[in-house]
Each structure stands twice: as structure tokens, then as C-alpha cells.
Structure 1
């Protein structure tokens, strides 16, 4: 009977399978409430990203739906980042006319020209963005790889003027911003030097803008609030007043319908012109938009889910999350001055500390060729800078948040991609350098405190690290992350049959135990939590320090607690000791026994979530949702994932619990909803029931389709417990699978019920762990 029911469900699911994923993408999810997403028009990993920029205090992605005003329309953005606003270089801005029909009659500075848009005119879909300003100028835009196309439609009777402003979102332009406008054609070319949003150094970006559709009346340049048709080029200083001196160029037109094409480059304005001409030769908006839609359809089509009984909002949540995983990082191959034109180069890693946990593992499944290029790009950064990055943006070194987490990315790819065109010997050279050599500048690459790491087996609080330069904080989180980094290096060493190194780094991966204080207690609101044993800071003389395990937690009542990159910060990064207590991804068996066994481990996980100590809007929380698997209670992981989605992840403009972090939040949603969550750096996916009756995932490597289907699917999500399962028709009791599930196109059938069962609970059913389970 069950097999017949399964067949019926499978057939109905096949009929109701998603065939057009783009209809379920909502780019405005996370455009408010601190999601900081890029909501505009782009291609997968595209360098050109066109959107309206607003004057919101949370405009890291450019456009925000919080009632803020539009200040311009620019072609370079990042998505979901924290910190300072990123990119937003070279903003176009349209004026219907200037007072008294003189060029000085327009308000050129950004703060003066800002204008509201009409809310119900806002439209966004893959490869497209448009809105109408309150002065009835409609602006729509689409994008190619390195160029954007803006269509301006002005009200009848207008005397249009469009400026190109030498600005960026964070007003970081330095000296020598340069622009010129051709008197006859109206072509604008220029460049400027800017600062990265979360790193050191600076970068130069270039642009080329052409206009079509209306006759040019006149043109010139503007500086601050004045303009002239007599001057056609200018080089601007930064000025001395804290913000860059406003300046740029303008064209005035006779006609109401104008299209602007903007090419971007990090090499030259001439290259920007050539790229724009090659990509959007005819200024054909519909053709460019159609090509962008086709590119997104190709990327999203490998995953198809059943619509059977599921509310559209769930499907929208799912595909929108997948979409956001491919906005960043950005493919700067051929447009950067760092490596040769044919060498892969990706940027906008904000930060690998965020991305290694679920985003890059997700792309490994559905867009393996892109991950290969991303890793090759990281290796090119290594060859150029001498180190793999943890953060990197706008051609600049970013700040290191924790360990050398590119090591985790490399191990994950090594296990799952394996024999590809990646130079694994170079990969190994790079990760070993992270583990063995301390850079002077370990604020932005490599690891600090390696002398103590090797001699003491932990990073001490107040470490004497005279070799390097970095923030002398985060001793606990760095110790835990270095431990996992070294485990990941051991994985690659083992795969390359370097058993000496494999054992060496496996041994170092046990260093987390050196900061575990078995008698440390924790209190909440003055009462003991009942749990004993927490990580604590330790000095160089091996005596213990103290940090409240709830310090910097989601429920820490002290508004002055800081756990970031400040010199006065705590010993954990962006989270508490309570949450970091679970960050031993490679040896959950040892961690479980150290905490007192599976029963206590589960109680501690429950306490972490039930007391809201964890914050699902930050990436360290991700794995804790599913760690019940390691204690033999996969049903509780299912409960937690269904608690957080859709309560904390919903298809609304404020529907993200925190910064999307370049697609990290999107990938958490996507993985959780297909019912397979990774433990990155290991060939492990933890199984929970999907949010759909069936899921089909086609491998871009083998072309084979893996299938997850359910028997007894309940769209009310009360039947979220696995009664039993089969893998390719055979009984399957393990609560995890490996990557061959995707590449070999296997079928996992989950029989669901409304009550927890014994499925996946036996010792032999648990995921791999460095230490055997007791």
C-alpha cells in the first residue's frame, strides 16, 4: 500500500514540478531590515550590477525599501554585506529640466538631488529593475556581464539632463577623479580611486557611458553646485571637508526617451567602452534583458521542486535564496590588472568566514564549474599576494574575521570535485602556508599567533605575538577555527597520500580541547543554567582567564559588549562562548562525550535555541540547527529547521534575520528546504525531510538527476519525521549521505510521519566523526 501511495505521490509531484524558476524569484527579499541585498539587474556572478541607489543608512547593496530617497543609478554593487556601503560607483542621475532652463538651475550634489520614488511602480526580476521617481521620470535597467543598460523615459515637455557623478555609495572617492565628455557624441569616460568597504588599500575603477535615443543639446562638466558647457573634462581633488567634492559630467537632450549604456572595468575606460560595445552593441533593451533571463534560467534550472500542496510563498522563499547565492562573488576575469586576461579572478568575498558554511557548498552541487573557477581565482590571489584570503573585495585585501577559512573551502572542493582542472598541489602549498607561516599583516591574510599555536596548542589571551600585526582578541574563536582549519588541511594531505602531514594536522585539530574548562559554569539572569564545561580564555602561562559564556550572545543585556575586530573586543568573534561551544565540526563525537554524552549534548543544544542565545541571522548558528544528528536525534534537527523557516526567513522585503552576507542566508534557506545540510570540509550532508513533496537536482558535472521524494508529505509540516527511508530502492538508515548522491543521480525516498521514530538514531547511523562514537 505504501509503495502504491509513493508512486501516486511521485507521479503527481512530477506533474506539478517547477519548470520556470524565475517566476519564483523575488529580488526584494532582504531589501529592508538590514538584509542589505542587491535588488537590481545583474547576471550570475556579473560584474555589472545596475540598481537605484538610496540615501538609507543601510544602503550596502544600493537600493533599500525603507522610504529612503533615490540619489542615482549606478552599475557596480555588492550584495548582503555588513560594514560600510560597497561600490555604487559612477551614478547616473536624470533631471526632467533645470530651473530657468540653465544648467546651474539643477541641484547636482547627491544630498540635494535626492528624490522619492513612487512605491507601486517598483519592479524587480532576474536581469531587470525599474521604478518611477516622484517627478514621473521612469527608469528601467538591465545588464550584461560588464555593462548596464538604463532606459530613461521623461514626461512630455521635459528638457532632460543626465549627469554622471564621480561618486560611490560610501563617498570614499580619493584625489584625481577624472571625467571627460565628448561634445558631439556625448560619450563619457573616466575613472576614480575609491576605498574598499571592509579592507585596506584602495582601488581604481573605470567607466564608459554612451547615450542613444535623443539628440544631444549640449554638454559639459559640473563641480559642486555649478556647471558649464564650455568645459568638457576635469580632474577633481577629494577636498578637505570630509566628503569628496561633488563633480562629474552631463548631457542635455532634446527628446524624452533616452538610453544610457555603461561599461565598467578595473583596467581602463577604453576597455569599459569595448566591453559595452561588444555586449550591448545595438542598445537593444529587450534583447539584453532576454539574455539575462536566459542566463538566470540556466543557472536555476538544475533544481526543480514539486508545487504539490505548497504555498507559493514557500517556493518563492526557496528560489529567491538560490538566486542570491549567485550574485556574489563576482567574476572579474579579464577586467582586473592583477592577473592575465585569461586567468580566472573572482572578488567580493564577504567573507569566506561566512561563505564556507553553506554558500560555496551549495554552489558545488548546482554550479560546479563556477566553483572550479572561483577556486582557481582564489589560487590566483594566492599567487599574487602570497596568501589565500579570508575576505577580499574591490581588488583589495579584506579583514580576516577568524581562521584561514579558505582552507575549509579547499577541503570541501577536494572531497567533492576531486579530479578537476584545479591545481591541487598549489592548493596544498597554500593551505600549508596558512598553517605554518605567520604573515606580518595577519589582520588581512593567514593566521596570527602561530608560535603559541604550535608550542601551547591554543591561542592565548594577550598573546605575545611579536612577528605579526593583527587584533590581539578572539583567542577562543581563533583557536576553534584554527583547529578546524588544520583538520581540513589533514583531509587534503590524506587525499594526496601525505600521511605524515595528515597525522600532524589531525593532531593539531584536537587543540580545541586545550581551552575547554570542564568546571566552568554559566548563569542566566543570576541563575545557574545547570550546565558545566565551557571554553574559556587561557594565558600564555597556561592559567585560565574568564569570559562570561553569554557575553556577546543574542541575549547579552550589555549594549557595550563588543566581539568583532576591535582591540578591546572579547575572545569570541560575533558570537558567544555558548554558541562557539558547538563549533567542533570535525569531531562531534568527542565534543558530545566531553559535554557529558548525547543526552546532555541535546539538552545544551535545546537550551541554546530555546533561550534564544543563538541568532540565526549569523552564520555560526547554521550548523547548530542540525547538530542533533550527531547525538542520534535527527528528528530534532527537522523540528529546528521548520521553526526557523519561515518564521525568520520569509519572502518579504524585511524577511531576513540579518545581512544576507553575499548569499550565505540564501544558501541556508535553500539547503534546509531541500532537506540536506552540509558539514563543510567533509563529505557529509545531514538528512531532514524537505519542504516539498519532491526535489530533483541535476548535476552539472555528470548530467544525472538526484531525486528526493517523500511518501506521506504533509504541506502543513506536522509530518516532519522520517519513519524509514530507501536509497535507490534499498533500505537506508543512515541520517546522512555523501556527495555521490548528486553526481551519481541517486534516489532518496523518505517515508514521513507525525511522530519521532528510531530512524537514524543508532550509532552506526550517525555521521562520520574524527573520534569513534562511544
Structure 2
């Protein structure tokens, strides 16, 4: 199989008649008669309508299906056009429920309210023996606009069924995308190299460029789809794309802003032209802020972009299950999202009060950062104040017990009611230690989403200094973070688990961030069948492993990269805008990864003591040299060397 932008090309190699089956089933002289069919079925059997036709002379199959999106509302229609090369048509027809006939060459499929799921159906073509090398080619164009556009896409992109040429073009396109990253892999195992490069590849699959394939509105702006979902992707995918492909990141930003223009809200998830479910906050705010702070400005209308994020913060939509935020009246007046929220202003799942509170707080901090850079100090001060609302869900007296034993840690985020009193959710609930799968997006969900109170208590990216003080200071914070990683409470296969790997930097222990990431790679990220934890539907797992191995972890929504040694002797990244190359070089690298602690660092030959760096390093280029050792050092541990926090900086 190989592809172009809108077309797939398949090459089928059939056995010859002498090897196709045992003699008892197929005589030697029986000629090949390949059968190819199209099944108008999606993985979730959601088809609610469709059409399929087959040309009995040429074998060309065309049609469409109406399907439900995988994580949202509404429906979409996808059109296809399949034709073939390499054999003459024997006969063709329609099949339904595994029964076929050639009396008709067209059928319309509807929901019959009897058969659930809908009966499988489609078209088929049987061919005479292939004319060369027992091979046939199938070319399948797709379009969200029409069958005619699907056929046009196929004919334009692969006019002559040239498999080797199409494959070479696709490979060259990927080589060009990946070539901005270069590593010195001396001594690094083939397995770790595979983890690194395959992670980068997967992280660049979505969002996808559907420009010219949007039937919902006309626009001169690009249209990207498969934001699946920004709750997943803001943490690592978009920061990685910003580094390796800033041009595409700018196009995605323009697309997000254009979706706001036409739909009235930024998406938090979007797939197949449909609005997706909102899992927590309005996370497109973080993506826009991250890029704005890092200078991704190519043709992006930042005036409209800022209008869009302010809309998320100030205006509750009628259905905040699929866009925006709910409970904004409580957010503004009570300064938290109550577990028993009274919300006559919009509709949504009245769950996830803890996780929504801390996510709204970070969303507002990111808006504050944009407002400050724009010069809107009124919005800045208002949103910065709201960024501190996370603390209103913190119950200082809450303890945590595991298997009857007190963990010794006190103070966790807890449900809170309209009258200000606290409720109770076991801090380990929705962790691998207790009812792990009980906190998904459903009406019976809990007050955290896909994670425990233990995990969400660490989610204060905007003000780690305040969080560390709240949890008892750097030593107590480090002990608590160690326990999170060592106890089985944390599952790295869920995206919220990424940040706690690196939060040691804020407690003045950057070496422990390096130690912790090595505990997950390659134990959880490797080349076995189980070598991708969770799933990688958005590419988040791939971007986590690749960014971690590159050595500088982006703190999404802020112009901050946390410094750690790369998993290679040297990593080079060339900026697509400036053409400048940033190099991170390890001095004293060993392939056994005993030397994983930075002893000292230089930037362009001058001492660098901060345990973080800004995006200017990637924009302007330079050389960051890290001298490594086998024990923690004092590098990056002083208070003046820690990354910024809202309560200290502003």
C-alpha cells in the first residue's frame, strides 16, 4: 500500500493457480479469478445511509456512506472512487449481508430500523487472471465533497497507477518532514532509535490538512481536521510540531481561528467535520497561547484568535459538552466549579468538577499570558486572578490511604459543593490502584477525568512555586512526586501523566526529572507489541517519547523548555522559519545511561545555570552543551535557576 494526499494505491500479488490451494480444492488448470469488494462499513457500524455503484465493463466502483464521528456529535458523508489496473473484468455486482448478485449494479442503503447494526453491504468485481506478474492495482480516491471530486483526486494524483513512483514520492515527503531533526546515534540501540523516529512519525499524522475538502463553508483559509483531541495534543503534539514544522503549525492555528469564525467557538476536539466532545477545559486556548508566545505568526489573525480565547473564558455556549466551557457563572462568582453546580445557562455533563476547575485555571493563565503580550492589562489581571482558583478545590485536611495504610501525605483536591463544603472522592480513585476506568466521559463519571485526585493535585502548571509551597515545600513535594511514580498510582499511557515526569525541575531537582523519564523509556516505550502505552490515537505517546529523548521538554502554554540530557550524544534541530540550527550536545554521554545528570552547562560557550531555556534557542540557533555525570549535582537547583511561576514572576 502507498498513498498521496487524497488517494490510496494498493498492489495485490496473487498466488498462481498451482499454489493457490491444495489439489483437492483447486485443479492445476483452474485459472485465477481475483475478487475485490468494497464494504461500506466503518469500525463502529455507525452507517446510517449510503450509495454504491459498480461499472460492469470497467469495474470502477463509486459511492458514499453517512457515518457518525468516533468521539463527537453529528454525522459526515465520505465519498469514494475505486478503479483497477492489471486484469480484465469478469463480472460485477452488488452484495448485501454476504449475499451477492450481478443483476443490479447500484444500490441505496438506508437505516431499516430492523437490522442493528446495519447489514454489511457494498459492491464487488471479479476479474480474469492478472495479465502480468499475477499483480493487480487498486486506486481509491476519497472526498468529503462528492464522488466526482474523489475520482478527480485519484486521477490527478496517481494518473498512471505507478506504484513505485507513488511510493517514492511519499517516502520523499516524509524524509523532508523528518530531515529537520538529526541525531548522532553513536552507541544508541536500534530499539531506542526506532522508538525515537517512529514517535516523531506518529506525532506528525494528525491534525490533517483537509483544505479543499470542507463542504461546511467556503473560505480562503486552510482547513485542518482530526484534532483528536486537543485535550491530548496540547501537551506535546503541538509543541513538537511547533519545533519541527512551524509552517504547518501556523496553518493549523489559522484553521482553528477559521473554525471559530464559522462555528462560533474554538474546538476542543474535532474529527470528520464534526464537533467532538470536550474532555475538560478549552484547550485550544493553550495551543494558541503557546504558539503566540513562541512567535508563530505566519498570516495568523491574532486579533480574531484573541477574541476566540476570550469567548471561551467569558461566554458559556448552549452545549458545552462539545465546545467552550460550562459553569462559567459559578467560575466567576464562586471561583471554582461546584460538584452540584447550578447551571441554567448551558447543557453539559455535570461531572469532572475537580479536573475542570484546574484546567479552567490553566486556560485562563494562558489567556492572561496572551493579554499581557498584547498589552490588554485589564484582561491580564482578571485572568491571572482566575488562574489561582485551582486552590479553592484543595482540602488541606484530606488524607490518602492505600490498602489500609496511610500514605503519610495530606492535602488533596476534593469535590466541593455550592455551599462551600467539601465532599469526598478517594484520592486514589481512577488510578490503576482503584477503579481505573471509572472516570471516562460519561454521565456517571466522577469528579476527575481519566485520572485520580492524586494526579490532578499536581496540575498547576501556571504556578508551580505556589503548589510546592502548598504541599509543604520542595522536599515534601519531591517525596510526594516520588511516591506518585513509584506506587503504581500513575499510568504513563494517559496524557495527564506526562507533566509529573518533569515537575522535579520546579523543586530544584532537575536530575530527578531525567531519572524518571529513563524509568519510563524504554520500560514502557519500546519495540514490543506492548511498546506503546495506552493508545496513540492522537500521536501524544509518540510525541512524548520523542520530545523526552530530544532532551528539552516544552511546558505547553508557556515559553519554557525544561533542560535534560538527550538520549543521544547530540541532537540537532533546524528551524523551518529561520533556517538556524539548535544543537544539544552531551559531554560524557554513555550508552548505558549511567551519566544522566547534568553537572554544568554552557550556551554558545558561556555558562548556563538555569534548568530551563526559552524558544529563542530554537528560533535563533546555538549550541547547548551539557556535561554529564553519574550523580546529581547542584546545577539548576538554585531558586534563581528555576522556571517561572505566576506567584513569583507577576
Q: Which range, TM-score by smaller chain?
A: over 0.9
**Alpha-carbon offset, residue 342 of structure 1:** 4.3
Check whether the contact 1:677–1:687 (CA below 8 A) recurs between aligned residues: yes
- The secondary structure found in structure 1 opposite 2:646 is coil
Q: Name the counterpart of 2:189.
A: 311
Aligned counterparts of 1:618 and 1:419: Cα–Cα separation in 2: 31
Aligned counterparts of 1:607 and 1:654: Cα–Cα separation in 2: 25
Q: Name the counterpart of 1:357.
A: 235
Q: Name the counterpart of 1:575.
A: 451
Q: Name the counterpart of 1:524.
A: 402
Q: Name the counterpart of 1:56.
A: none
- The secondary structure found in structure 2 opposite 1:250 is strand
Select which of 470, 483, 497 maps to 1:607. 483
Q: Deviations over 1:214-237 (max 9, x none)?
A: 111221212223222221111022
Q: Deviations over 1:28-84 (max 9, x none)?
A: xxxxxxxxxxxxxxxxxxxxxxxxxxxxxxxxxxxxxxxxxxxxxxxxxxxxxxxxx
Check if 1:233 corresponds to 2:106.
yes
Q: Name the counterpart of 2:569.
A: 693
Check whether the contact 2:246–2:296 (CA below 8 A) recurs between aligned residues: no
Check if 1:443 corresponds to 2:316.
no
TM-score, normalising length: structure 1: 0.80
Question: Superposed, which structure 2 residues align to 1:190-209 within 5 Å?
Answer: 190-209=63-82
Question: Superposed, which structure 2 residues align to 1:240-639 within 5 Å?
Answer: 240-256=114-130, 257-340=135-218, 342-556=220-434, 558=435, 562-639=438-515
Check whether the contact 1:334–1:342 (CA below 8 A) recurs between aligned residues: no
- The secondary structure found in structure 2 opposite 1:426 is helix
Select which of 563, 578, 584 maps to 1:702. 578
Check if 1:730 corresponds to 2:606.
yes
Q: Name the counterpart of 1:44.
A: none
**Alpha-carbon offset, residue 708 of structure 1:** 0.6
**Alpha-carbon offset, residue 270 of structure 1:** 0.2
Check if 1:186 corresponds to 2:64.
no
Check whether the contact 2:250–2:296 (CA below 8 A) recurs between aligned residues: no
Aligned counterparts of 2:361 and 2:569: Cα–Cα separation in 1: 39
Q: Deviations over 1:261-310 (max 9, x none)?
A: 00001010000000111100010000000000000000111111112111
Select which of 215, 221, 224 maps to 2:88. 215
Check whether the contact 1:165–1:247 (CA below 8 A) recurs between aligned residues: yes
Aligned counterparts of 1:364 and 1:225: Cα–Cα separation in 2: 48
Question: Superposed, which structure 2 residues align to 1:20-169 within 5 Å?
Answer: 141-156=1-16, 157-169=31-43
- The secondary structure found in structure 2 opposite 1:757 is coil
Consecutive unaligned residues in structure 2, runs of 5 or more: 17-30
- The secondary structure found in structure 1 opposite 2:553 is strand
- Worse overlay, 742-751 or 645-654: 645-654
- The secondary structure found in structure 1 opposite 2:90 is strand
Check whether the contact 2:588–2:627 (CA below 8 A) recurs between aligned residues: yes
**Alpha-carbon offset, residue 773 of structure 1:** 8.2
Q: Name the counterpart of 2:21.
A: none
Q: Name the counterpart of 1:54.
A: none
Aligned counterparts of 2:520 and 2:35: Cα–Cα separation in 1: 49
- The secondary structure found in structure 1 opposite 2:539 is helix
TM-score, normalising length: structure 2: 0.95
Q: Name the counterpart of 2:25.
A: none
Aligned counterparts of 1:161 and 1:357: Cα–Cα separation in 2: 46
Aligned counterparts of 1:315 and 1:469: Cα–Cα separation in 2: 47
- The secondary structure found in structure 2 opposite 1:671 is helix
Q: Deviations over 1:357-395 (max 9, x none)?
A: 011100100000111111111122212211111111111
Aligned counterparts of 2:359 and 2:609: Cα–Cα separation in 1: 31
**Alpha-carbon offset, residue 566 of structure 1:** 2.1
Question: Superposed, which structure 2 residues align to 1:754-765 within 5 Å?
Answer: 754-765=630-641
Check whether the contact 2:247–2:298 (CA below 8 A) recurs between aligned residues: no
Check whether the contact 1:265–1:336 (CA below 8 A) recurs between aligned residues: no
Check if 1:720 corresponds to 2:567.
no
Aligned residues: 631
Select which of 640, 657, 676 maps to 2:552. 676
**Alpha-carbon offset, residue 479 of structure 1:** 0.3
Q: Name the counterpart of 1:9.
A: none
Q: Deviations over 1:304-343 (max 9, x none)?
A: 1112111111111100100000112111111120233643
**Alpha-carbon offset, residue 350 of structure 1:** 1.7
Select which of 744, 748, 757 maps to 2:620. 744
**Alpha-carbon offset, residue 652 of structure 1:** 2.4
Aligned counterparts of 2:540 and 2:163: Cα–Cα separation in 1: 31
Check whether the contact 2:563–2:611 (CA below 8 A) recurs between aligned residues: yes
Aligned counterparts of 1:580 and 1:223: Cα–Cα separation in 2: 50
- Worse overlay, 424-433 or 327-336: 327-336
Check whether the contact 1:334–1:340 (CA below 8 A) recurs between aligned residues: no
**Alpha-carbon offset, residue 524 of structure 1:** 1.5
Q: Deviations over 1:501-522 (max 9, x none)?
A: 0111001111001111112211
Check whether the contact 1:334–1:343 (CA below 8 A) recurs between aligned residues: no
CA RMSD of aligned residues (A): 1.3
Aligned counterparts of 2:121 and 2:607: Cα–Cα separation in 1: 69
Q: Name the counterpart of 2:23.
A: none
Aligned counterparts of 1:393 and 1:227: Cα–Cα separation in 2: 33
Aligned counterparts of 2:529 and 2:523: Cα–Cα separation in 1: 14
Q: Deviations over 1:198-253 (max 9, x none)?
A: 11111111001111111112212122232222211110223322121222112121
**Alpha-carbon offset, residue 349 of structure 1:** 1.6
**Alpha-carbon offset, residue 184 of structure 1:** 2.2
